Amino acid sequence: MDSIVVTGNGPLSGEIPIAGAKNACLTLMPATLLSEEPLTLTNAPRLSDIRTMTTLLQSLGAEVSALQEGKVLALSSHAITNQKAEYDIVRKMRASILVLGPMLAREHAAVVSLPGGCAIGARPVDLHLRALEAMGAELDLRDGYVHAKAPGGLKGGVVEFPLVSVGATENALMAATLAKGTTVLKNAAREPEIVDLAQCLIKMGAQIDGAGTDTITIQGVDRLGGATHQVVTDRIELGTYMLAPAICGGEVTCLGGRIDLLAAFCEKLDAAGITVEETEAGLKVARKAGRVHAVDVTTEPFPGFPTDLQAQMMALLCIAEGTSVLEEKIFENRFMHAPELMRMGAQIDVHGGTATVTGVERLKGAPVMATDLRASVSLILAGLAAEGETVVNRVYHLDRGYEHVVRKLSGVGAKIERIHGE
């Protein structure tokens, strides 16, 4: 099994290109199931999760080709030949549930395995199912599969989410584009990935208003066409690499970055003593003189602080001056990286959904183990600022969300290499 070896090597300098958003691309790809005509996605990230979604769509009869070294995805679902998403594929990735809405909308039937993914809490799919039921879907859960049908097609309805859910909003949004009548999504997620999906669906002929607000209105149409769409910048990869110079010192420009994608995150960096400047090329990030300052962080749905940057932010706060409190309000079990950071000398006290971090002047390199996607990169960031060598094991999680992490970090002066296991 592969591992990544990181050695603290001082300040960083240079540019890091930011890829298209994994979470956006994984939502845009199933949109091909809504139309018989081709869908082309540009600025696609080259990740294992994208390959898993490709395999899933192909199993349903879609044609998917990766062009220009994987940066362009050409998709076509002119003929759906299978209505069942099998467990062996779906178990690898939670985003697989996003084929359910489009399949119900176009085929009026689908059988989808309950999904897998990172072990960071229950993340139940009940909000997805409740939304589809509000549009007339008939659902039956048995033998680990969702058996869904919509005789005569989905019908417009009012969906009021009891909790904000990005995935459920995406599933309902896609399903509603072909439903008969008007669908209103209340307490909808507002993430940039939702806006990106809506923009793509509108290019395909959908009638959508309010994406980016908590109320989205969709007027169903009879059919959707093809489109070409550029995947939005990955704000989580962006935030991750912004933290590299924050932890190590130096100055790095994250190419393609925009403050509006991460306004709440940028506010916390400013409070910690990190300067963020928006330029034509992207976001220029530098650490002010001295140690960073402790800040308190509470994860919230967009436009709040992203849960997917909590682990990486904790790595920074481990070396901050003072005591920080991180409150995780999105997922339970999302502090599994804390014991690994403590192996490097961090002082962290976890109680339920709250972690109290007392900064130390310097972390020390140690062998650590990645527990999930974001935890794995937080340990790499910590290793950049640690004294000596840090070996991050079980980095297969990393390939699900970050392309060429070694190349990108070494390109700005980090001492990092990947060791291939047997």
124 is in an annotated binding site: yes
CA-CA-CA-CA torsion sign (373, 374, 376, 380): positive
Question: Which of these is catalytic: 25, 118, 254, 266?
Answer: 118
What is the C-alpha to C-alpha distance for residues 175 and 198, in angstroms, rounded to an integer? Answer: 12
Backbone angles phi, psi at 356, to 5 degrees: -105, 120
Which residues touch 369 (CB under 8 Å, ≥6 apart)? 340, 392, 393, 394
**CA distances (Å), origin 305, targets 114, 284, 379:** 28, 20, 20
Strands (E), 299-395: 323-327, 347-351, 354-358, 363-364, 367-369, 386-387, 389-393
- Please name the residues in contact with 361: beta carbons below 8 A apart, sequence gap of 6 or more: 291, 319
Determine if residue 123 is labeled as part of a ligand binding site.
yes
Instruction: Please say if 254 is a catalytic residue.
Output: no
Q: Is 308 annotated as a binding residue?
A: yes
Q: Which of 232, 231, 236 is nearest to 374 (CA)?
A: 236
143: CB partners within 8 A, 6+ apart: none
CA atoms within 13 A on the CB side of 319: 26
Q: Is 23 annotated as a binding residue?
A: yes
Place of tokens 């990005």: 166
Residue 223 counted as an annotated binding residue: no
For residue 330, say whether it is annotated as part of any ligand binding site.
yes
Which residues does the annotation place in the binding site for UDP-N-acetyl-alpha-D-glucosamine?
A: 94, 123-127, 308, 330
Which residues does the annotation place in the binding site?
A: 22-23, 94, 123-127, 308, 330
Catalytic residues: 118
Which residues does the annotation place in the binding site for phosphoenolpyruvate?
A: 22-23
